[in-house]
Structure 1
């Protein structure tokens, strides 16, 4: 009888793990479809957005009960801050310069948030592992695309830069950069992306080579910073001293050789003095923010005639800075709510280590937010991934502190062990009662 129950529990555990892995994979692929190269309607990725919305609705209908059961996560810190930001973004359609666009883009944010909350009970380990695997596939597909259709896989610029299946070198750098960070976080926690160690190491090499091929200078530096932070948080105290000394030495070397380094980093066709035009965008946006200081110009309104005067023949898609973009579109109120969510994402679930994979990615998107937009603008791939990870950390925070990580094996084993212990106690009580009678 006990053997049969144990087998049944193992079968149930295996099925649950497979279901979690498959679900995580679908969510990640759906998020990627927001930004991969694909058919366009006009200048926007409307076709990709339609596919994402269809997959999101399918996933929600598949687990309609979980949508209701996990609603409490919406009101847990820091998800409640993002919930408030989404409400404010949707409300901005009332005063937006382009209300239809604001309503559409804010609606997509809400859809992604509900999706994240509905699947917040997926163990963080499965989400992290599947993301690293999918990021590796994206990197491999990008190099394959270079062989098959080089004109689409490389930026048509004076500098050779790989954009692969993501259609833009910055998007590809964000995806593979986050993949590197998750890979390191998994390895530090004692897990692997792939069961085969050689294959696992090759995946990391492929991700690094792909990141370098994008020639995204800031994102590459940010990946190195976050990886260093992950290692620093987990290594022995003596090694932390070595890391600190190494960082001090590196800073001193960069300071001494700053001019030579900047000349090496400079790309043909780019302008480091203006950060490739970013400073012009920041100046223009900051000059307009005071006129709509509290409420902003409406969510999704940056890429519109409002900012057409920044350049003579180019309209910037966003402010190339998370907080400037958020303040421009949703005012200081929206920027504060978004900042609270991101800062909260660094610490949510720290008590039981449920955010060991979330906080490094949150830190990465915050650093990238100084030079680009992941949060604070329209829905993107990492917006979905980070929101799901933070929601999982918030959901897992209710787990007992004695459980080091809310992965499927720990939780299901704990439940199985409890049930077996209960049955053993019941048998012992019945035996004592029988003897007493």
Structure 2
């Protein structure tokens, strides 16, 4: 695994020497870095808001559409969405050319599975169940990876942490403002789930990313550290208010493992001791009050939701049908983005009596689209990114690498109940940018001094 070791090339934020042999880092380049950061942050924030968000979602029954918009989303007929990804591809190509002079490195453990997955998805058009639909989705996928490549090469890992935090914090603030304005923010009611501008499950995933980004940034930010820790706590509170159990479990586990990764062995032992002590004390107090601790823990884990646990909110009915389809094309799948045709959506509607256009499981979604081979390549890229980010966090002591580690931990858990972390959205774009940054961009020799303002946020 020696190939995962970072390559060091000078001071953080300092580009390599230009052709004249003098440092190209000056006020002009600092300003360029800053406006590139804010341009990218603003563009990603606006474009993904236009394509994925709905300011009135908190008023919808079960926070979802049950009309022709389901089929429209599934087949990708949204004109704005098409234009969005061509713009993102253009941004990525521009940044890739702009960063051509930056030192390259090649981590084959990450880069080759990603390249293999993209190539496999492109090739899947040849055996796609719906070639026209599959071709549109493959074009979108290529645009997605071009954008991720450009962003990953242009920015440092810490910039990508700030980018994720700023965009999602903006979404959260707008979503909370919309619920307050619409009068739908009622956390005291048993059936309420905080949605903002997304389905509660998607909102919980975004808030988990915001908390992870804040936690990754805080240790090296003397000026913003306390505010970042506060933002992390607020994010977790609102994850609870979404009543999304898998997201909460994933966020807590990811934060715990990130903290363990950054701490000393002594701190780990103290943390384990305090956690066990707190758990046993809680159980003892519940028993003294005459309550069954296991019943209380179960009710707490349900987060106030009253749906049938055995059915996993309907997933227990969806997954067996998906496995039947997977069994028919196990190795190749139905072609990238080609499974959820209007006809299949109607079939699932007749069988389940509710509309859907995803498997609600990331691994099943990959198997349906790209088969065992495509799923294996994608998961391999996640595993190697998890290992490489953990290695860099421990060896360089640069906390921003911990965000990718936390995102990978969260993704593995989240994919058991949702498909979002294997799809195309803001979170996966920034996640992929971090993976490509780790695979292809040579790291800087010395990170910015603790508390030193970044050019992008100064």
TM-score range, shorter chain: 0.7 to 0.9
Structure 2 SS opposite 1:37:
coil
Match in the other structure for 1:136 = 169
2:35 corresponds in structure 1 to: 19
Residue 78 of structure 1: aligned partner? 110
State the secondary structure of the residue aligned to 2:401: coil
Name 1:432's counterpart in structure 2. none
Does the aligned pair in 1 maintain the 2:106–2:439 contact within 8 Å?
no
Unaligned runs of 5+ in 2: 1-21, 57-64, 284-291
How far residue 184 of structure 1 moved from its aligned partner, in angstroms, is 0.6
Alignment of 1:34-433 (within 5 A): 34-37=51-54, 42-43=69-70, 44-45=72-73, 46-60=78-92, 62-63=94-95, 65-66=97-98, 76-121=108-153, 122-150=155-183, 159-165=191-197, 167-188=198-219, 190-191=220-221, 195-196=223-224, 199-248=227-276, 257-266=293-302, 267-268=304-305, 270-304=307-341, 305-306=343-344, 308-309=347-348, 311-348=351-388, 350-351=391-392, 352=396, 355-376=401-422, 378-396=423-441, 398-399=442-443, 402-403=445-446
Question: 1:410 and 1:180, CA in 2 relative to 1: closer, same or farther beyond 3 A?
Answer: closer
Seen in structure 2, the aligned counterparts of structure 1 residues 63 and 265 have a Cα distance that, compared at 3 Å, is closer
The alpha-carbon deviation at position 382 of structure 1 amounts to 1.6
In structure 2, relative to structure 1, the CA distance for the partners of 1:224 and 1:65 (3 Å cut) is same
Shift of 1:366: 1.7
Bigger relative contact order, structure 1 or 2 (CA pairs below 8 A, ≥6 apart)? 2
Residue 7 of structure 2: aligned partner = none
Q: Distance in 2 between the 1:75 and 1:8 partners?
A: 26
> Aligned partners of 1:71, 1:54: CA distance in 2, in Å?
27
Tell me which residue corresponds to 2:288. Answer: none
In the TM superposition, what whole-angstrom CA distance separates every residue of 1:96-150 from its partner, at most 9, and x where no partner exists? 2222222222221211111111222311111101211222111111110012234
With over 3 angstroms needed to count, the CA separation of the structure-2 counterparts of 1:16 and 1:123, relative to structure 1, is farther
Return the index of the structure with the highest Cα Rg: 1
**Aligned Cα RMSD in Å?**
3.7
Q: Which runs of 5+ in 1 are unaligned?
A: 1-5, 413-437
Q: CA deviation at 1:250?
A: 7.0
Tell me how far apart the structure 2 counterparts of residues 374 and 392 of structure 1 sit (CA, whole Å): 21
